C-alpha cells in the first residue's frame, strides 16, 4: 500500500520475522527500525590518510539538514581517532586537523584544547602547543596537569 501511495519524502522498509516468536519481534524490530532511520549516521568508510575535518563537517551538516536540528561530530569519538592518527608521521596532520575541528565545535572543552596542545608538541610546534595549553588552562584553571604541561613547555 505504501509503495502504491508513493508519498514524496517517505522512507520506509518492511521486514518480516518469520523465525521469531511474537515476544521477540518488538525488540528486534525496534533495533532494526533505529538502524534503518539512522543508517546514514556513520561516516562512509575512509582511510586514515584521507580523513579530514571538511569531510566530517560536511557529513554532519548533511545529517543536521536531514534531521532538522544541529548535530555536531562527537568530541570524544573524534578525539580518540585523532589520538590514533597523531601516532604516525603520515597521518599526524590529519589528526591535528580533527583536533582543531574539536576546538571549534567544543570551544569550552579544556580536553579538546589539551589534546590539540599535545598533538602540537608531537609535531614540534611549541608556540601553538603553549597557546592551546593556555586556553585549556583558562577553561579549567584547577587542572594541575595543564599547569604542569605548560610549565614544561615554557622551560
| Alpha carbon distance 121, 117 (integer Å) | 6
- Reading the block at residue 115, the C-alpha cell is 589534546
Kindly state the DSSP code that residue 70 receives in the 8-state scheme. Answer: -
Q: Report how many domains make up the chain.
A: 2
Residue 58 in this model has a pLDDT that exceeds 90 = yes
Task: Return the pLDDT at 14.
Answer: 86
Q: How many CB atoms lie within 10 A of CB 110?
A: 20
* 60 and 132 belong to one structural domain: yes
pLDDT tens across 93-116, in order? 999 999 999 999 999 999 999 999
Q: Identify whether 1 is part of a domain.
A: no
* 149 and 77 belong to one structural domain: yes
* 77 and 139 belong to one structural domain: yes
Average pLDDT, the chain: 94
Length in residues, the chain: 155
Residue 117 in this model has a pLDDT that exceeds 90 = yes
Residue 119 near residue 92, CB atoms below 8 Å: yes
Residue 69 in this model has a pLDDT that exceeds 90 = yes
Task: Return the pLDDT at 4.
Answer: 84
Query: What percent of the chain lies above the pLDDT cut of 70?
Result: 100
N-terminal to C-terminal alpha carbon distance within the chain: 73
Task: Return the pLDDT at 35.
Answer: 86
Instruction: Tell me the average pLDDT across 41-45.
Output: 89
Query: What percent of the chain lies above the pLDDT cut of 90?
Result: 79
* 61 and 131 belong to one structural domain: yes
Instruction: Tell me the average pLDDT across 76-85.
Output: 96
* 29 and 69 belong to one structural domain: no
Instruction: Tell me the average pLDDT across 63-87.
Output: 95
| Alpha carbon distance 140, 76 (integer Å) | 17
Q: Identify whether 5 is part of a domain.
A: no
Q: Identify whether 150 is part of a domain.
A: yes
User: Cα–Cα distances in Å, from 54 out to 1, 2, 59, 121?
Assistant: 41, 37, 8, 24
Domain extent at residue 23 = 11-40
Task: Return the pLDDT at 12.
Answer: 83
| Alpha carbon distance 78, 85 (integer Å) | 10
Cβ neighbourhood burial of 112 (10 Å; 0-12, 13-18, 19+): buried
* 73 and 121 belong to one structural domain: yes
pTM over 0.75: yes
Amino acid at each position: 500500500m505504501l509503495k502504491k501511495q508513493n508519498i514524496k519524502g517517505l522512507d520506509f522498509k518492511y521486514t518480516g520475522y518469520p523465525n521469531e516468536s511474537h515476544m521477540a519481534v518488538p525488540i528486534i524490530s525496534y533495533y532494526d527500525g533505529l538502524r534503518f532511520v539512522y543508517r546514514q549516521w556513520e561516516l562512509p568508510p575512509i582511510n586514515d590518510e584521507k580523513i579530514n575535518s571538511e569531510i566530517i563537517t560536511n557529513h554532519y551538516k548533511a545529517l543536521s539538514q536531514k534531521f532538522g536540528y544541529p548535530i555536531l561530530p562527537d568530541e570524544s569519538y573524534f578525539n580518540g581517532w585523532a589520538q590514533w592518527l597523531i601516532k604516525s608521521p603520515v597521518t599526524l596532520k590529519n589528526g591535528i586537523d580533527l583536533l582543531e575541528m574539536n576546538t571549534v565545535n567544543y570551544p569550552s572543552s579544556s580536553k579538546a584544547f589539551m589534546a590539540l596542545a599535545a598533538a602540537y608538541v608531537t609535531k614540534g610546534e611549541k608556540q601553538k602547543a603553549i597557546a592551546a595549553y593556555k586556553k585549556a588552562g583558562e577553561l579549567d584553571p584547577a587542572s594541575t596537569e595543564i599547569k604542569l604541561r605548560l610549565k614544561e613547555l615554557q622551560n
